[in-house]
Chain A
């Protein structure tokens, strides 16, 4: 296994981008990353692209080849692989690209993530997201995707005394961070009261506890770490990569408030990186719902189980806290084009480790972590990155 570095990043603006197509978005993110890395098209050995459900969102499958084509690489016949792991498709695309470079099979790999969700209506988008849950034994009986996370929230509040206000604080924090991110879908702060009084979606979660429907794409360029300085002064090394799975249905697990896929993926990544949660300076975690950030920071070992609700009051996960979480605005405020999310999280961590995050820069950040969840914790991918 070789060490692997990220030498280029690219991201589009996230949001309801009516005037941008799937093809335009991925081409924009990819070309930004390629220019950032200073590589030539003919150097690319493979393309890995994460997309959850292009088939349902835009009626188009076979998007591996489509991405290579729309990026202008069809005549170069570069191998292109579409990767799917629901909302963790982007994180898994990075892991597959990482493994292919680490193995020695490929040198220069482009990793992309994309989703174009706004071409279908809100109901169709929500039902497509629900396909990440168990269709036969959860969705059939009327459980929605927010509903499944809401059941985690109910249990967390019951078992650990987590409050409605603590859930809402996650949205308030992430909106404040998103306001500092030029690519975020929501660039405005919101108040605790606004979150709590928002229309209910699935109790105790309201509209502003949920990440939005978004369009967007993100891209990364990987190469062997030993060659990274040839391309950039600020390469970032992937020092840990972990992945784990669990039952598709939440009800089939003993623990409702722990995602064991996160616990196992994190364990794998920490072990490879030879790091502990205390070593992490900045993290992007999968806050598809406010409760998801609370259990993520527990399962990643940033706080004890049950203490996640207090992390904002205790000044841990805030931008000026001891371990800032979701400096990009997270899925909540930056937006959640599902296939793009896992890649966009790593774009944010690389931006932080390069010291280029401007108003949302975490001082002296050298080690960062990205945590991407598929479905209701049936898949999880964790990456740990270090500035070289």
Chain B
């Protein structure tokens, strides 16, 4: 990451904290991260992209385990990172937490969790955002 870019992080807070995407008012497709226009409707979608909060539930499409990390992540290795397909359609890249590394699998059901992502070694700023954890099993109350 470019060092010292605090505004660069601040302006993405709604997306990274609360999974706010965009829905095209023309065709209904949902995008995350947000887009200024819909790639399918293009000019018809301008001014019609609406904020939409995503459920945060999804499934692992593919994954890896990072052993050699960028500077700001060195203290976290090894860590799993995955492409997650959200229920609403968009796919995002995020770390998988709260499970054993060897339990991470393609097809695994996961859900959003708010976590610390990295610490900027230059400004000291701590950046937060989304990671994903295995879906909680439904409790069987009798």
From known contacts A127-B71, A142-B118, infer whether A252 and B66 are also in contact, taking CB-CB under 8 Å. Answer: no
Q: Shortest CB–CB separation between residue A163 and chain B, in angstroms? A: 16
Given A127-B71, A140-B127, A142-B95, A151 and B117 contact (CB-CB distance below 8 Å) = no
B129 adjacent to A203 (CB under 8 Å): no
B117→A154 contact, CB < 8 A = no
Cβ of A155 and Cβ of B65 under 8 Å apart? Answer: no
Which of B33, B71, B76 lies in contact with A137, CB distance below 8 A? B33
Interface pair A154/B79, CB less than 8 Å apart: no
Q: How far is the CB of A259 from chain B (nearest CB, A)?
A: 15
Which residues between 138 and 170 of chain A lie within 8 Å of chain B, taking CB atoms?
Answer: 138-144, 146-147, 150-155, 158
Nearest-neighbour CB distance to chain B for A209, whole angstroms, equals: 12
Judge whether B70 and A126 touch: CB under 8 Å.
yes
- The answer, among B2, B65, B93, for a CB contact under 8 Å with A202, is B65
- Whether A142 pairs with B81 at a CB distance below 8 angstroms is yes
The dominant DSSP class at the A interface is: helix
A147 and B81 in contact (CB under 8 A), knowing A203-B64, A256-B61? yes
A202–B64 contact, CB under 8 A?
A: yes
Contact of A137 with B68 in the complex, beta carbons under 8 Å? no
How many contacts between A and B, using CB within 8 angstroms? 99
B17-55 vs A, CB cutoff 8 Å, 1 = contact: the mask equals 000000000000000010000000000000000000000
Q: Which residues of B contact A251 (CB under 8 A)?
A: 61, 83, 91-93
Produce 1/0 per residue, A328-362, CB < 8 A to B: 00000000000000000000000000000000000
B79 pairs with A142, CB closer than 8 A: yes
Within 8 Å of chain B (Cβ to Cβ): is A43? no
> CA separation between A125 and B68, bound complex, in Å?
13
Closest beta carbon of chain A to B26's beta carbon, Å: 19
A-B contact pairs, 20 of them (CB 8 A): A136-B33, A141-B81, A141-B129, A142-B69, A142-B79, A143-B66, A144-B68, A146-B68, A147-B66, A147-B81, A151-B62, A153-B64, A154-B63, A154-B64, A201-B67, A202-B66, A203-B65, A205-B64, A256-B61, A256-B83
Interface residues of A (CB under 8 A from B): 123, 126-127, 130, 135-144, 146-147, 150-155, 158, 199-205, 249-252, 256
Name B residues whose Cβ lies closer than 8 Å to a Cβ of A. Answer: 1-2, 12, 16, 33, 61-71, 73, 76, 78-79, 81-83, 91-95, 106, 117-118, 127, 129-131
